[in-house]
Amino acid sequence: MRSENIDDYANGSTNAHKMAAKQQEISITEFFEKNKHILGFDSRSKSLLMGIKEAVDNSLDACEEAGFLPDLIIKVERLQEEDEYRITVEDNGPGILHKMIPNVFGRLLYGSRFHALRQSRGQQGIGISATVMYGNISTGKPAHIESKIEGKDEVAWKMDITIDTKINRPVVTNDVAFTWEGKDHGTKIEYTTKGRYITGKQSIFEYLKNTAIVNPHARIEFHDPEGKKYLFERATEQMPPKSKEIKPHPEGMEIGDMMKYAQNTQQKTAAAFLKNDFSRITERIAEEVLSKAGVAPSTPPLSLTRDQCKAMIGAIAQVKIMAPPTDCLSPIGDVLIKKGLMHILDGMRPDYYATPVTRPPKAVNGNPFVVEAGIVYGGDISSDDQVTILRFANRVPLLYQQGACAITKAISEVDWRRYGLEQRGGKGIPYGPAIILVHVASTKVPFTSEGKEAVASFAELQNEIEQALRLCARNLKSHLNKMERKSKTSAKFEIVQDLIPAIAKKASEMLGRPMPDLSRTISKIMNVVWVESRAKKEGQRVLSVKYTLHNYTLQERTVGLHAKLPKECVNLTLFTNPYFVSMNDDGKATWEVRNLQPSASLQISFELKGEMADTFDADDIYISGINPVLVMGAEALPGDWGIKGLEIIESDESVPADEEEDIEEAEDLGDE
């Protein structure tokens, strides 16, 4: 506004003129300076954590994008002034170009990921610059940045940065080049901030521990204010797949989004607009959508009205469109979720890690997302308290606003009583010795605020979370049922093995006759094929596995054993086993045991070698070729395994009437 116009307003006699004279543009930095709580800087303890979180997120994103296994060092030092801390976060990432350092750390809403439809931790370009801003405001001290980019002859640069909140621009001082000894590339930020260091569930230590769970490829070193060092070693050298930028998916898109895309497109027709500007829209699907919407394919996108865009959105909901492509996302994956949980929670000695679940991709508001879930059960986990909930979004732990999060709401909606956990009233967070992990990966996670502390409760998203939880809970329930049946049968077997020989021995002594062979008698009472599994760690990367089959029935048995192995850990000990048949590309292995005689036993053993060896659960063994009612210690082979070509797989053995009676008698004996 020109100064003469302002003067005219100021000289006016009406209230409107006086009010107009005071109106002016507000800098985004000024806005967040006065509304720090929106970014999560709403308490001393939370502010300390939020700054570290933003720096760690940036470091992990940079390392992964450059293809480096992350090595992070985080230091928290308590200074002499009250509630003042010096925070240092250093990484081995690709570094930042000298001219870009001021904008990255000293300018809000500046970044490379806001418009990119691909998964990343940082999205808005606010986090790290907001951390610098808060440090400037709370202590009056600048942030110190050091960075060196890749290259043998490249020098490192260091500078101090503050932010001019009036114009949202960095103010740089002490900008010099230097030789960074022992550092080939990387970035370090050091800033001073007001805060309060705490321990417990919402502490920096807990945040870093949870970060290590869902980022098992990262090495994280933490130094607390007392000088104590904590080290979370990387559990794997397997990098997560790089996410690729994609076009928006039309599923779940709003009318305003469709209108915006139509106004900005370079395409000349509505048909070309749908086909080329959205993912999973083919020429045939575009024509079908436009036909249902009553829009001519040749209509210029710029001339599409609100009603036409609304009709197109409605038509998209009626047409079957492929799920969004997954290469824009980088989910953790079932095996690495389990590896991360085992690596960090091993001290709790849990009894079971329920097989994690990764759901197929879906879309909300045109943004693809994937939900993953895992459950840890038993061991030293408290059984008297509510289960521990670990919430993650794009591999970042969410420690605050648990009650407002879609993840918590989805957990509360599941009837956990069906799966072996206590749930008072049938709703709410269950009680029991369990830890529930949920991870949401998306090109744009719908957070409830800029602080990125809770996931918004969109119906599509919450439904997917519930589905993942139910699948994971069924895996847990199946395991608990298997262990319960195994325990009862084991107790029954011990009674039979001890009691009957003792009675027979006493009777033989009284009658003066030789001790009879009781093997068939015991087999008739037991009437099961017992599969006993054992797994033993031999060092850090070797797992010895042994299966023992006991035929406690009156018939010879031919059975197939099946297990899904971590394929990269398989070695010759598997293939040289005489009972081994085959293994497919997914690591699903099959062994065939033919004509196992009554009262006979045999062993199948092999080794797994590699960093993923310990993720294999020997109890996850399946059986085929025999009625599962007659088997203890293994489940029936799932129909979705798709294993074909074995005669034993095709057999459909029924239980003879006399064997049914034996089973009932044995069960009655076990109950007694």
Sheet harboring 588-596: ordered strands across? 580-583, 588-596, 557-564, 622-624, 635-636
Q: What token pair was written down for 560?
A: 């197939």
Mean pLDDT in consecutive groups of 10 residues from the start of the chain, 672 residues: 52 68 61 60 82 89 90 94 91 92 79 54 65 85 92 86 83 91 90 89 92 93 94 89 79 84 90 90 92 92 92 90 78 87 82 85 79 91 90 90 92 90 86 93 83 85 93 88 77 74 80 75 77 87 92 89 91 90 90 91 92 88 88 82 52 45 41 40
CA dihedral 163, 165, 168, 171 (to 10 degrees): -30
Q: What CA–CA distance (Å, rounded) separates 246 from 228?
A: 44
Q: Are 589 and 582 in contact (CB under 8 A)?
A: yes
pLDDT tens, residue by residue, 110-128: 554 544 555 666 554 467 8
Model pTM score: 0.77
User: Given this model, what pLDDT does residue 382 score?
Assistant: 87
Long-range contacts of residues 660-667, Cβ cutoff 8 Å, at least 24 apart: 662/524, 662/525, 662/527, 663/527, 663/629, 663/630, 665/525, 666/492, 666/525, 666/526, 666/527, 666/528
Q: Smallest Cα–Cα separation from 574: which of 616, 637, 528?
A: 616
User: Given this model, what pLDDT does residue 224 score?
Assistant: 93
HSE of 187, CA atoms in CB hemisphere, 13 A: 25
Q: What CA–CA distance (Å, rounded) separates 58 from 122?
A: 7
Q: Are 608 and 565 in contact (CB under 8 A)?
A: yes
pLDDT tens, residue by residue, 176-213: 999 888 888 999 999 999 889 998 888 999 999 999 99
Residue spans of beta strands (DSSP E) within 342-407: 352-358, 362-364, 367-377, 388-393, 396-397
Hunting for tokens 């394929």 — which residue is that? 567
Hunting for tokens 């406690």 — which residue is that? 552
Q: What token pair was written down for 37?
A: 């709580």
Q: What CA–CA distance (Å, rounded) separates 285 from 273?
A: 12
